[in-house]
Amino acid sequence: MEQTLQNTAEEKAFVEKQFNAMLDIYLHSNHRKNEELVREAFAFARAAHQGVRRRSGEPYILHPIAVATIVADEIGLGSTSICAALLHDVVEDTDYTVEDIEMRFGKKIAQIVDGLTKISGGVFGEQASKQAENFRKLLLTMSEDIRVVLIKMADRLHNMRTLASMPKAKQLKIAGETQYIYAPLANRLGLYAIKTELEDLSFKYEHPDKYEELSSRVAETKEDREKLFTMFAKPISEKLDSLGLKYEIHARVKSVYSIWRKMQNKNIPFEEVFDLLALRIVFTPEDIKDEKKICWEIYSAVTDLYKPHPDRIRDWVSTPRANGYEALHVTVMGPLGQWVEVQIRSQRMNDIAEKGFAAHWKYKTGEQDDSELEKWLQTIKDLLENPEQNAIDFLDTFKLNLFASEIFVFTPSGDIKTMPQGSTVLDFAFALHTDMGVQCIGAKVNHRLQPLSYVLSSGDQVEILTSKKQSPLATWIDMVKTAKAKSKIRNLFKKEYKSYTIKGENELKALLKKHGQDLSADLLSRMMEHYGTEKDEDLYYKIGKAEVKIDELPKLFFKEKAQSRWMRFWSLNIFSSNKKTDDAEIQVTDETLRTAECCSPIPGDDVICFIDEDGKYVVHKRQCPVAMRLKSNYGDRIVSAVWKNEERLSYPATISIKGMDEKGVLSKILDIISNEHSINMSKINLETKDNIFEGEITLYIHDVEDLNNLCLNILKVNGMKSVQRIEK
């Protein structure tokens, strides 16, 4: 059927329509127009991909057109980037070379296409285990030309939008990789809309039932939100009209993923997520110099009407975030007694927030800007000068900077330095200069003496104190947060570090052998998370230095294998590229399958399965931090897994309860658990204070559905405020 559609006039017309829609967006932008070059790139790409189809059955050329549309519309780039987006798969998928591209379209477009070719392959290809190495290549090209990574973001976004056509195992791998690498990177580059959509799409494929449930709940509350928005915004509009401002007010609804994450982090139900609605005021000043003044005028107008929350004011106008984001945020008490966030931006600030600071940084205006983004790119170059030997270790080191929230620290002369949250005095010393870090003996923070390990806060003024007599210590590596400081300290103690690392690795392997255990990626990840190390070498180093007591490891991490007796009731689907079907069922035994102790999944949880080095299948919850790392770094070992309901067995789970300390309330709760639901309990821990009780109960339940029903029934008891499962 597909073959008969291949050259129909209808299909050709559809391709032309999609291209013309993209071209129209470009022609209505404020870029210098080069329509002929864009049309030539389209014709070249269409001819190169002639007859090739995507997995969904559509002509392949629709993918480059879609990527170019995102580049033009959602990121706001010009003809060079649009042409590179149209041509981005030509070198990889056809017989054309980078030299052919350069001869036809010039050196700059060829360089960008070459950069994109270097970092492709492995995402949807057969080399699916090389994500970390691909990411390293991405950073190399990014430090040369930021447009490479911006187009790569557009490519990833379109692949996520069309992920439904992929087999389940690849959906989970790609969604995990997107959540772990691409969404944080989009955030760091200021691509907020793309970051939010990548997170939501990843969530949709990792937790489809939760996604549908929360989407429905958000839709159900739409009418109430619209009423609140109208009631809340009307007096603000009247006030701003009286000031003679040119502005627009928009309602912004919290994303489904953000809602779910808040429910998980705060252990609350949907009904207690109060900040579903936010208000965005975007104004156009007559003179750009008045932006800051008008922001505070609007802030004053809003807080005259509604009482502000004292701890929820964010001034990114005076001090923009490292990715260029500028805005003034304030959370105020709304007319119906709920908190509403108000975001105040100029049109320029809004453009940067929507399309990314990077797009406006150099290529749109042609200006050279000593921006935070440029400084960040410089830190990438610094990291790449001394790359880690292992690509996955490199990725973890880079993540230290990528995921970090920012603080702003002042030098004695008043210069502002952006540092990751949690940075210490020693981090700051190394950030200023390596020699200053090596000779640092402490600092004056806000004119008070503080040690090397002192954790800095936003607004601190820091004067580094040095001494030529100072000798750095290997233990400094535990005092620092930033990748740069860790890398410099590790280099100083390379010889000592290596000897202790080898000693620790040998001791761990001997211990594992003694207990009949294997050094699997899953076990290593759990140990690293427990001891707060980002690299396996750091864990070995701590064991070698006896900072980790090796005798405590069996009790903490080794479990008897008999625990996995219930595993025979699993059904696994595993993707095989050699088969015509996308998912082929395989059989497993007690010996080849076990649950991960880091997250303890139970029937009904959304799960994922990871094949370790010994060919054993380890089952994790999909949101488990250890699973997130495994998905991103070892994508070719991920398989999809589903529960079978062949037998009713019990699994441990813990719930938290909170309510009014009324007479008989505990006995009612215990009666519901023991008598109405016939559920056994292994531990109860309750505390009472000021007529409020809260605590935890560990139970043995059959599956998630049983647990949810139990929680709902306990919640019906008079005086109960919340009942939630505690996620590991």
DSSP category for residue 287 = S
- Let me know how many helices (H) and strands (E) the chain has, helices first: 31, 20
Cross-strand bridge partners of residue 723? 657
* H/E run at residue 249: strand 247-253
Q: How many C-beta atoms lie closer than 10 Å to residue 165's C-beta?
A: 13
Is the CB of residue 136 less than 8 Å from the CB of residue 395? yes
* H/E run at residue 639: strand 638-643
Is the CB of residue 62 less than 8 Å from the CB of residue 54? yes
Give the separation between CA 511 and CA 501, rounded to whole angstroms: 15
Give the separation between CA 719 and CA 715, rounded to whole angstroms: 9
Q: What 3-state DSSP class applies to 401?
A: helix
Among residues 345, 343, 371, 344, which one has the least CA distance to residue 358? 371
Give the separation between CA 715 and CA 658, rounded to whole angstroms: 9
Give the separation between CA 406 and CA 118, rounded to whole angstroms: 31
Among residues 329, 223, 338, which one has the least CA distance to residue 280? 329
Strand order, beta sheet including 462-466: 448-450, 440-445, 462-466
| Distance (Å) of CA 551 to CA 129, 363, 503, 508, 514 | 34, 58, 15, 10, 12
Give CA angle at 719 (717, 725), nearest 5°. 65
Cross-strand bridge partners of residue 725? 655
Catalytic residues: 92-93
Strand order, beta sheet including 328-333: 247-253, 277-283, 339-346, 328-333, 308-315
150: tokens are 């911006």
Give the separation between CA 399 and CA 486, rounded to whole angstroms: 13
Is the CB of residue 84 less than 8 Å from the CB of residue 147? yes
* H/E run at residue 227: helix 222-242
| Distance (Å) of CA 507 to CA 90, 417, 521, 559, 621 | 51, 42, 17, 19, 31
Q: What 3-state DSSP class applies to 161?
A: helix
Give CA angle at 523 (519, 529), nearest 5°. 135
Is the CB of residue 325 less than 8 Å from the CB of residue 44? no
Q: What stretches of 243-290 show up as alpha helix (H) in DSSP?
A: 256-266
Q: What stretches of 515-645 show up as alpha helix (H) in DSSP?
A: 521-531, 536-544, 553-557, 625-633
- Range list of β-strands (E), 269-402: 277-283, 308-315, 328-333, 339-346
| DSSP letter string, 667-684 | HHHHHIIIIIS--EEEEE
- Range list of β-strands (E), 316-461: 328-333, 339-346, 406-410, 416-420, 440-445, 448-450
| Distance (Å) of CA 38 to CA 105, 106, 543 | 10, 13, 58
